[in-house]
A and B are shown apart, each in its own frame.
Chain A
Amino acid sequence: MTVFARSCRGILSLFAVLLTLGLVQAGQADEDRITGEAPGAFVVEDGKVDPDTYEGYIIYTRVCMACHGPDGLGSSFAPNLVRAVERRGWENFAGTIASGREVQPGQVMPSFADDPNVMGNIPKIFSYLRARGEGGLGRGRPKIIESMQEQDEESAEKGAEEEEKDEAAEEANAE
């Protein structure tokens, strides 16, 4: 039951993200920072990144690397994603992860629609890959910018409290 609930939430949040496509102004960009509400925001400072971009790296490594190679660079059978996100943009990127793509018989980009860990985190993966390209982030596992890590922990605590409230409300509704 828990899994079902989680995957529902993952898919719903994707819909939410897709709905906002095109409605949000592109963020301001400088040489190592793209900010704003649109998916793909990142901060790169001295080879360190913001917590979301870092998490994008972790999810990339866990889920995407087995085919797309280390650091988004591609493998013998799956494309370089650092270049792909530059060329194809958010909509195509998120759509491909959700729906998959049959490149040719036997060569398949699978759909991750059933995987809440991926579906709930596509913007972070996107941020990581943009940081690798436009942000000039190097290869390997980045560190988190210390000041942003502290902020993130504080907001995560608040978020967890809110989530608990939400869940309590959901349970109340269900009853």
Chain B
Amino acid sequence: MLRETGYVLAAMGLMAASVAHANQNQLELQQNPEYWATQLGNYQGNRFSELDQINRDNVGELRSVWQFSTGVLRGHEGGPLYVGDGRLYIHTPFPNKVFALDLEDEGRVVWSYEPDQDSRVIPVMCCDTVNRGLAYADGRLFLGQADNTLIALDAESGELLWEVSNGDHTVGETNTMSPLVVHDKVLMGISGGEYGIRGHMTAYDVETGEQVWRGYSTGPDDEVLIDPETTTMLGEPIGESDLGVSTWPEGEWERGGGAPWGWVTYDPELDLVYYGTGNPGTWNPEQRTKDGEPADNKWAITVFARDPNDGTVKWVYQKVPFDEWDYDGVNENQLIDIEYEGEQRKGLAIIDRTGFGFLLDRETGELLVAEKFAPETNWADDYDMETGRPNVNEQYSTYRQGVDVNTTDICPTAMGAKNMQPSAYSPRTGLIYAGINRICMNYEPFEAEYVAGQPYVGATLTMMPAPTQNGSMEGRMGSFIAWDPVAGETVWEVDERFAVWSGALATAGDLAFYGTLEGHVKAVDIETGEELWRFKTPSGIIGNVNTFMHEGKQYLGVLSGVGGWAGIGLAAGLENPEDGLGAVSAFSALGDYTKLGGVLTVFALPD
């Protein structure tokens, strides 16, 4: 009891100024370290737990207490929610089943729900039929179905309360993301950047499902919800109006992508939500030039800070103007309070798709740090801190090299040096823990024709493992790293055979957890990265490791079930650039290590 009070006080201290805001129920739940009430653990996206029953000294004894097969194949992203009612709430990829499982009764199904969806949505999902999980608030569960239907379920009974359509899969719009509840609204983005859709973030009323606001990623200011006089970019008002139209060739913004399909984070104190937008339409940069010159294609690959009440944009930062590599800018924006040059700052840190680790001021959008966390990164040498723009390396510019030219050895690959797998941040160490990809690519743009509902890609790519440095594992395609977001330096890294496509967890037990594509759950010493424990689940892990406490016992829960882009791109193994045409790949094929199948595994220490 004393211990619990301690936790609550600590949490209240951290969030003292914020109690008047946010969704009260969701905020209270996430302030209680016994619960895992939102996919990223808290609004700030930190995936950190104060629980320390499982710690560095005893983690070696951790064992599986029960497992539950979801009965669904294909990639299982996201993870279980625990809100203190003795149940775990989980979801699956298409057909997006939802299960309430009895935690005390070895996962007995309390209720289940299965939406009725058009299976024609399957082929328009670019990178597997994944779903990143449920959201919870005030006795309701929210799920974004693959077919763009956002639903609210009664958490007690599984009964459908309301449903609303957020898009049209017949034009290539789909959904993979986890919604986020802020105040009395549910926020939902959209997927379909490979189908020439026009991305948007939309808020729906939690009670009724009625649409409250929608902010597009491209197009005129009144549809993006930008005011050029008040919305800032790198701390200054944007000034010029309708950049979301004028930075594109005629009409191309209408199929300009910018799909916000990743995670949304929220600062209750500043009352701002943060998310990033995806790639700008076709992957062929030539088709996005204006008067024969590269154009910024705003606001693709941009961090948006919006007022959750009406969607107004407070500030924007475009990480990659005029994308030439499909560097989707959707990676999570971790909200962290840090000391920067002797001052306390409200920071926003990104382990980005581009291979750069960014640190921004989340109040103003000012760029503070941009350093490579994946040292092989070569598409840009560095960032100009004045303009916030990358200094692109001509040799790896697929635009400069030209249409129908194969630009080779670009790092990282279009999968990104990190994809959707969410990172963790420990306020105790001040470090970010992230699974990353060490893969490079050859990229050849070609002219793509837009046909509604058909892929609008316009580039072909082949991938190969990134070059290794001294001491790294031969042929490795991933790592798990500890990153100092202020110094812009990697503190330690552990190499993995395959890309690390699972979400990380950091705990007060001095541990960091992650999953591997072969199917291991691993616990490492948070200070050194030394492996302390592993367990082999039945299939590769692209889900996130979550933790919670029930009746005085700390549990760990993780969904395994290989898939996602990793399951597509790595299944047959990557090409060895040294091999001749048709040669057998010298690198590991994921298909030799793991096969499909969704399973939830729950772990605890022995009694």
Contacts and interface: CB of A to CB of B under 8 A. Distances in A.
Contacts of B581: 47, 137-139
B46 interface: no
A35 B463 CA distance: 32
B84 interface: no
Interface stretch (A8-16, A75-83, A119-127): A75-83
A106 B94 contact: yes
Contacts of A66: 123, 125-127, 194, 455, 568
Contact of A106 (B72, B128, B455): B72
Interface stretch (A23-31, A56-64, A87-95): A56-64
Interface in A83-132: 104-108, 110, 112, 115, 117
B127 to A, nearest CB: 7
A138 to B, nearest CB: 3
B119 A108 contact: yes
A52 to B, nearest CB: 17
Contacts of A112: 123
Nearest to A115: B454
Interface stretch (B207-215, B488-496, B588-596): B588-596
Given A61-B460, A66-B125, A76-B591, A107 B442 contact: no
A17 interface: no
Contacts of A115: 454
A110 B123 contact: yes
B406 interface: yes
Contact of A73 (B125, B194, B571): B571
Interface string B5-19: 000000000000000
Interface string B442-461: 10101000010011010010
B580 A107 contact: no
Given A61-B460, A110-B119, A141-B444, A70 B572 contact: yes
Contacts of A70: 462-463, 568-569, 572
Contacts of A65: 568
Contact of A75 (B460, B567, B580, B582): B567
Contacts of A77: 73-75, 128, 563, 567, 596
Interface residues of B: mostly helix, strand, loop or mixed? loop
A116 B568 CA distance: 25
A67 interface: yes
Interface residues of A, number: 32
B596 A138 contact: no
Contact of B454 (A62, A67, A73): A62
B436 interface: no
A126 B281 CA distance: 29
A67 B575 contact: no
A74 interface: yes
Given A69-B569, A110-B119, A141-B406, A76 B94 contact: no
A37 B580 CA distance: 31
Nearest to B462: A140
B587 to A, nearest CB: 12
Contacts of B442: 140
A159 interface: no
A2 to B, nearest CB: 11
Nearest to B73: A107
Contact of A138 (B71, B75, B127, B583): B583
- What is the interface of chain A mostly: helix, strand, loop, or mixed? loop
Contacts of A108: 119, 122
B73 A104 contact: yes
A47 B457 CA distance: 24
A67 B568 contact: yes
A62 B457 contact: yes
Interface string B223-240: 000000000000000000
Interface string B121-163: 0110111100000000000000000000000000000000000
Contacts of B572: 69-71, 73-75, 80
A136 interface: yes
Contacts of A47: 581
Interface string B337-356: 00000000000000000000
Interface string A31-73: 0000000000000000100000000001001110111011101
Nearest to A135: B582
A1 B606 CA distance: 67
B475 interface: no
B562 interface: yes
B95 interface: yes
B406 A106 contact: no
16 contacts: A47-B581, A62-B454, A66-B455, A70-B462, A70-B569, A76-B75, A76-B591, A76-B596, A106-B71, A136-B582, A137-B581, A138-B580, A138-B582, A140-B442, A140-B462, A141-B444
Give me the 9 closest cross-chain CB pairs, A-B, nearest first. A138-B581, A76-B567, A73-B572, A138-B582, A75-B568, A141-B460, A110-B123, A75-B571, A47-B581
Interface of A: 47, 58, 61-63, 65-67, 69-71, 73-77, 80, 104-108, 110, 112, 115, 117, 136-141
Given A117-B454, A140-B442, A140-B462, 10 more contacts: A47-B581, A62-B457, A66-B455, A73-B573, A75-B567, A76-B568, A107-B74, A110-B122, A110-B123, A138-B581
